Structure 1
């Protein structure tokens, strides 16, 4: 394999696109359906947050299992689990949605770890950030059309919902089973390596490893903002004049896709901590969240401006931090420690629904998004590199 845009990698990116297409629809339909059924913002947040909360707990185990068995065996099993989860959505109500979200979380933990670890292992160091960025890009492409498709399904009375979910389950499974990942093979681990990926020991590394700690805190808090946006925008948009959740999510996802492709070569890939770049990205996040909050008074222009700013921030932050960690983490522990970092991103998105749901219930959506902006500014200050200890 030569380069992040070679044909074997393109096939993996297409599989990513198919896999995440269901979520771009469910992110809109579940809050709308929950609100119709009388669920509170807290209950909706718990159902939506269950997906990545489950993913968070399984990511370290996924990194361990993939290193032992190789991604192909793992991939085929989790595609079956994912298909079952998608079909479950068509057969149940809110209670079933919670179970389906958890099953999706399990499969996503293994799916994303298999592909991201494989991409990093197969690409040369100079192309590593591009590969990670393109993986993330293709996971967001469904978000361009998915929200509008979801609105169409919702307005049509949900009759086509089972057809869409079953079609996605079948197409993802068939394409996934035909995908070859010949370069990514299971590894025989020495006793020293096994100690290096000990799961309980690895959790302590979030605090002990200064690189992992800084990146994890940044990703956790910023992901709370991203999670709150995704979960509650379908309901918040209904309060705005000329506000449309489908257009907002499409605009945000489109910005992520365009930014990740056009800016992928600007993402640092040298193992050094670039404070100005990271702080600028977080500043965009804070301004974007504040724009969404102010749109209740300022109008839809601020609503959609927030989508663009948050999209740029989301496009840059995750691949930047992931690439940095791929250089500075100990090689024998890298897979599991990266899993822990990604787990912090998952936890943040989950908390965006679980924690911010009660805030919205007690106060308002606008106040909740203003709190997100304040959290972003706190991370802006946290990202300052005062002593160069985070430079490799």
Structure 2
């Protein structure tokens, strides 16, 4: 079989990959909402729910290096076909197993996602021409967000109806259709041959954070912000169900719509000049702080509750691509890939901490207190940005100021 070279980001082959991404992440969009509700109904504490949900991104972060190693030795299409069988099996087990099995299933799903994400992104690097690569990757990230427009509403519908057979049917249908789409995906069949690094090397590279002020600042900011994003994703449906204020499905759909629209409409306006735009980053963090602050007063917020979805959506949409674009310019070329990997790991770690740590915070402070703490984290990240408002240039080093 020959390698198919896709010439444009909207070719038939690329559209198949975007559809595959939508189907794959649709399952997670449903499970992210329904699993905490099922866990709570089964008697789980907030800390246990946070551990269960945080295990997803934590294992995703840990398994990324092994995904890179395997891709450098094996064909992406062969790995994808096996991977999607595991994915489908995992979805079926969610619908059949009890809540005691959710933790390890969530961890397994995170490992599968690590491999899926690496296969899709590295495959696109080979399949797309250089001039179309940025557009293709942007459309791929949009595809991963599209399930947020319908997944939460579908999850709450399934929860309200209480029809377990319907939930099982949807999980089986998603598993089968995702596998069929992936089976015929136009991915490379030969080893990608890309450089990769081991988990031990990744741990050793973390020491570089303390010697590169640029990377340290960006990673701290992303860690704090993604912790807030993870907390909202994990605990908002539970919070709204307990208070009876607002509708979690509408909130998450609106937030997802804002993310999709912002990433598409504003994609050409994200700074791409290698300059440190402290005003933009601070503004996005304050937007997230406002969103969390409104959630902290959920019962008295009224219609302003949905303003929170807009505030959080704008921050989710623009903060990560803005920072990663800046780093792509200023990090030294000799080890840029490894350093960018560390930055991505800060996002994964922060998002998982949003469930792990904020779940324990919710047990001690109530949900209102937890979201107040989230607002404080965003303000702290904003202060880190402003304390480093002087341009951070490539080659500068030193501790965080």
Q: What RMSD in Å do the two structures reach over aligned CA positions? A: 2.7
8 Å CA contact retained: 1:125, 1:269: no
Residue 109 of structure 1 deviates from its aligned partner by 0.9
Alignment of 1:218-229 (within 5 A): 218-229=221-232
Partners of 2:128 and 2:277 lie apart in 1 by 22
Partners of 1:249 and 1:207 lie apart in 2 by 37
Partners of 1:309 and 1:126 lie apart in 2 by 33
Q: Specify which of 225, 237, 262 is matched with residue 234 of structure 1.
A: 237
Residue 144 of structure 1 deviates from its aligned partner by 0.9
2:309 equivalent to 1:304 = no
Partners of 1:316 and 1:228 lie apart in 2 by 18
Q: Specify which of 206, 209, 212 is matched with residue 209 of structure 2.
A: 206
Partners of 1:111 and 1:280 lie apart in 2 by 33
Residue 127 of structure 1 deviates from its aligned partner by 6.0
8 Å CA contact retained: 2:361, 2:370: yes
Residue 264 of structure 1 deviates from its aligned partner by 1.2
Partners of 2:225 and 2:248 lie apart in 1 by 21
| Alpha carbons of structure 1 residues 8 and 146: separation in structure 2 relative to 1, 3 Å | same
2:257 equivalent to 1:216 = no
2:18 equivalent to 1:47 = no
Partners of 1:30 and 1:370 lie apart in 2 by 24
Residue 331 of structure 1 deviates from its aligned partner by 4.8
Structure 2: 5+ residue stretches without partners: 1-5, 396-401
8 Å CA contact retained: 1:292, 1:302: no
| Alpha carbons of structure 1 residues 87 and 11: separation in structure 2 relative to 1, 3 Å | same
Partners of 2:44 and 2:128 lie apart in 1 by 46
Alignment of 1:134-145 (within 5 A): 134-145=139-150
Q: Specify which of 103, 113, 119 is matched with residue 108 of structure 1.
A: 113
Residue 167 of structure 1 deviates from its aligned partner by 1.0
8 Å CA contact retained: 1:151, 1:246: yes
TM-score (norm 2): 0.88
| Alpha carbons of structure 1 residues 314 and 188: separation in structure 2 relative to 1, 3 Å | closer
Tell me the residue number matched to 2:181: 175
Tell me the residue number matched to 1:286: 289
Partners of 1:232 and 1:47 lie apart in 2 by 12
Q: How many residues align?
A: 388
Partners of 1:80 and 1:335 lie apart in 2 by 30
Structure 1: 5+ residue stretches without partners: none
8 Å CA contact retained: 1:70, 1:187: no
Larger mean CA deviation between 109-118 and 332-341 belongs to 332-341
8 Å CA contact retained: 2:245, 2:298: no
2:362 equivalent to 1:360 = yes
Partners of 1:334 and 1:63 lie apart in 2 by 16
Larger mean CA deviation between 283-292 and 59-68 belongs to 59-68
8 Å CA contact retained: 2:76, 2:189: no
Q: Specify which of 65, 77, 90 is matched with residue 60 of structure 1.
A: 65
| Alpha carbons of structure 1 residues 308 and 215: separation in structure 2 relative to 1, 3 Å | same
Tell me the residue number matched to 1:262: 265
| Alpha carbons of structure 1 residues 121 and 100: separation in structure 2 relative to 1, 3 Å | same
TM-score (norm 1): 0.89
SS at match of 2:312: helix
2:278 equivalent to 1:272 = no
Residue 203 of structure 1 deviates from its aligned partner by 2.9
Partners of 2:226 and 2:108 lie apart in 1 by 21
Partners of 1:203 and 1:116 lie apart in 2 by 23
8 Å CA contact retained: 2:68, 2:197: no
Larger mean CA deviation between 58-67 and 247-256 belongs to 58-67
Residue 202 of structure 1 deviates from its aligned partner by 2.6
| Alpha carbons of structure 1 residues 70 and 313: separation in structure 2 relative to 1, 3 Å | farther
Larger mean CA deviation between 314-323 and 129-138 belongs to 129-138
SS at match of 1:90: helix
Q: Specify which of 324, 327, 332 is matched with residue 325 of structure 1.
A: 327
Alignment of 1:346-357 (within 5 A): 346-357=348-359
Alignment of 1:11-50 (within 5 A): 11-50=16-55
Larger mean CA deviation between 180-189 and 214-223 belongs to 180-189
Partners of 1:302 and 1:89 lie apart in 2 by 35
Tell me the residue number matched to 2:398: none
Residue 343 of structure 1 deviates from its aligned partner by 2.1
Alignment of 1:68-79 (within 5 A): 68-69=73-74, 71-79=76-84
Q: Specify which of 148, 152, 165 is matched with residue 147 of structure 1.
A: 152
Partners of 2:216 and 2:131 lie apart in 1 by 24
